[in-house]
Structure 1
Amino acid sequence: MSTTQSERLRELLEPLVASQGLDLEEIAVDAVGRKRVLRVVVDSDTGADLDRIAEASRVLSAKLDESDAMGDAEYTLEVGTPGAERSLTEHRHYVRATDRLVRFQLHDGGELVARVLAVDEDGLDLEVPGVKGRKTTTRRLAFGDIDKARVQVEFNRKDTANTKNNDTTEDEEA
């Protein structure tokens, strides 16, 4: 039997989130003045767009209204995604971060920034960017060596999968 409010909420809401094709990543209840805010973070392998989040919010709100999980006090429900710079804590998070740049804090105190190339049950294959003219290298990193990991936002990365050959001129198109 669960004892904390977060555990009870997780038991109540997780099946509903799963029925929407989403994973329940996090639940937090925070006091904001006299009110409380219930924050629910959801995600999926294919991402969670605004329509999916809105539908999940409606389903969760209806279930919370018919239960006494939040008690009688006023609260606000906020449903969202982990965001661009998410922390990686579960195996599925690392899989979803494939081809993304990640900053790793290692158990030995070191730090590494690398692109995730592949993920298996034991760890990650990484592409480590070259520094000061050095070539890019690959590295294997075991999950046991990772203390923390967080996806990094890249503003100037070229998307090689979607680039087209734009060598034609206006005269050639006419």
Structure 2
Amino acid sequence: MSEGILVKVKELLEPILLERNLTLEDLEYVNEGKNYFLRVYIDKDGGVDLTECSIVSEQLSEKLDEHDPIKEAYYLEVSSPGAEKPLKTAQDFAMHVGKNVYVSLYVHIDGEKEYEGILTDFSNNIATVNYKFKHRMKQVQIPYDKIAKARLAVVL
């Protein structure tokens, strides 16, 4: 059911984003407790602000009311993916080489299941991460299919 909703919402959303030079980072329709949420994550070079999110929310809300692809009551949330944006696709990894990342794995590699460091390369579906270990820099190569979750990581 939600897959069909997401397809229709994406069709309604794409012209709005194109007009504003924005990209769709993620789209989800989820049931949490008694409530349904339609979450739209948008971005652009330099990031998006609250005003941009509000404009997209208003325009999308009008389109959703007009076409009514969701029959039950729901909350619409439009936001930026944030500073710790999830990396969900191989393309996300390729686009964020040079950035600080946090990666958790399905299996241990070099005795660890979690790494945080600089993504120095992503090629042939292998992520190369330079990380600090006991005051030394080390490097690990992680096959993309072994990555459970990944996100950009804020350096403090």
Q: TM-score, normalised by structure 1?
A: 0.66
Letter in 2 for 1:151: L
> Is the CA contact 1:103–1:152 (under 8 Å) kept in the aligned structure 2?
yes
Pick from 90, 111, 115: which aligns with 1:112?
115
Is the alpha carbon distance of 1:122 and 1:13 closer, same or farther for their aligned partners in structure 2, counting shifts above 3 Å?
same
* Rounded Cα–Cα distance in structure 1 between residues aligned with 2:92 and 2:74: 29
Per the alignment, do residues 118 and 9 of structure 1 end up closer, same or farther by CA in structure 2, a change over 3 Å counting?
same
- 1:124 correspondence with 2:127: yes
Structure 1, unpaired ranges of 5+: 156-174
Give the superposition deviation at 1:139: 3.8
Q: Could you tell me which residue of structure 2 aligns to residue 161 of structure 1?
A: none
Once the two structures are superposed, residues 121-161 of structure 1 have per-residue CA deviations (whole angstroms, 9 ceiling, x without a partner) of 633332222x2232x13344332332221232322xxxxxx
More strand, by proportion: 2
Radius of gyration: which is bigger? 1
1:30–1:108 distance in 2 versus 1, CA, 3 Å: closer
Kindly, what percent of the aligned residue pairs are identical?
A: 29
Deviation per CA, 1:99-141: give whole Å up to 9, x if none. Answer: 3322222232322222113444633332222x2232x133443
Alpha-carbon RMSD: 3.0
Greater shift in the superposed pair: 76-85 or 88-97: 88-97
**Are 2:94 and 1:88 equivalent residues in the alignment?**
no
CA displacement 1:46-105 (0-9 Å, x = unmatched)? 42233332332232122112211233x554422101223332112343245443322222
CA distance 1:18–1:28, shift in 2 (3 Å): farther
Partner letter of residue 99 of structure 1?
A: G
User: Which protein, 1 or 2, shows the higher relative CO under an 8 Å CA cutoff with sep ≥ 6?
Assistant: 2
Secondary structure in 1 aligned to 2:128?
strand
State yes or no: 1:133 paired with 2:135.
yes
Alignment-derived partner of residue 48 in structure 1: 48
Q: How many residues align?
A: 150
Return closer, same or farther for 1:111/1:68 CA change in 2, 3 Å cut-off. Answer: same
TM-score w.r.t. length of structure 2: 0.72
CA distance in 2, matches of 1:111, 1:31: 28
